[in-house]
Every structure is written in structure tokens, then in C-alpha cells.
Structure 1
């Protein structure tokens, strides 16, 4: 069994309040877990309106499958124009 986690520190450019920030983040988190073997959450900077850290975790029998799930989750951030990844850390268990 392989457990993979990726933490992405991000900046949100168009968020002018915590409400706007949470709307953008919830959109990413819902798309990430919808129908996939993945858990996702905002894990840091909850009270800062233009800064966040998102974590994605996947469990599988092969590292290739887990890497694919995590890469798909990161691509949800990268395809958006209102958010930018500034730091990404992978952990394997």
C-alpha cells in the first residue's frame, strides 16, 4: 500500500474577502475528490484572504496510480488563472 500526499501553498489573486477565497477553494476541492480516490482539504492560512495551503492525499496499490491522482489534483490549480502555486511538497508513506 502506498500513501501519497502533496501540499500546495498558493496565492489567490482575485479574492478580496474570505468569502471569495472559500468559494474558489471549495470549487477546486470538490472537483478534486469528485469520483476519484482522493481526499482534499485547506490545511493552513484559513484566515488570510489571498493565501492558502491545500493538501491532497491518495492511497493505492502502486505509486504510479497515486502519482496520477495527485497530478490530476494539482492540474486543477494550474489550469486556473485566479490562483498560483508558489510551493509544492510531496510526501510518501
Structure 2
């Protein structure tokens, strides 16, 4: 069994409160979970308006499958105009 995780920092533009930030992140998290069947959570910068860190996790019996699913999720995040992905870190277990 292979567990793949990605932590990615996001810059969220055009938000002026934590409430707006949470709305953007909640929408992104929900769409990632529904489309790709991944575990997604906000793991850092909860009290900062325009910055966030998302952790995305998937499990499979092959590393190639995990890599493909995580890459698809990251491409989906990159397409979003509300947030820009900056630092990305992979971890394999």
C-alpha cells in the first residue's frame, strides 16, 4: 500500500476577510473531494487572510496511480483563478 500526500501553499487573491477566505477554500476542497475522491484539509495559515496551505492525500496499491491522482488535483488547483499555488511538497509512505 502506498500513501501519497502533497502539501501546497496557496495565495488567495481578492479576499478581505477570513470569512471570504474560508468560502474560497471550502469550495475548492469540496470540488477536489468530489471529483478526485481525495482527502483534503487546510493545514496551516488558518488566521491569515490571503494565504493557505492545503494537504491532499490519496492511497493506492501502486505509486504511479497515487502520482497521477495527485497531479490531476494539482492541475485542477492551478486552473482555479481564485488561488495561486506556490510551494508544493510531496511525501510518500
Fold-level similarity (TM above 0.5): yes
Distance in 2, matches of 1:58 and 1:22, equals 23
- 5+ residue gaps, structure 2: none
Normalized per residue, which structure has more helix? 2
**1:29-58, Cα deviation, whole Å (9 max, x unpaired):** 111111534100000000101000000000
Distance in 2, matches of 1:73 and 1:5, equals 11
Distance in 1, matches of 2:79 and 2:35, equals 19
Q: RMSD of the TM alignment (CA)?
A: 1.1
Q: TM-score, normalised by structure 2?
A: 0.93
Where 1:73 maps in the other structure, the secondary structure is helix
* Matches for 1:76-91 after TM superposition, within 5 Å: 76-91=76-91
Task: Kindly tell me the number of residue pairs found equivalent between the two proteins.
Answer: 93
Q: TM-score, normalised by structure 1?
A: 0.93
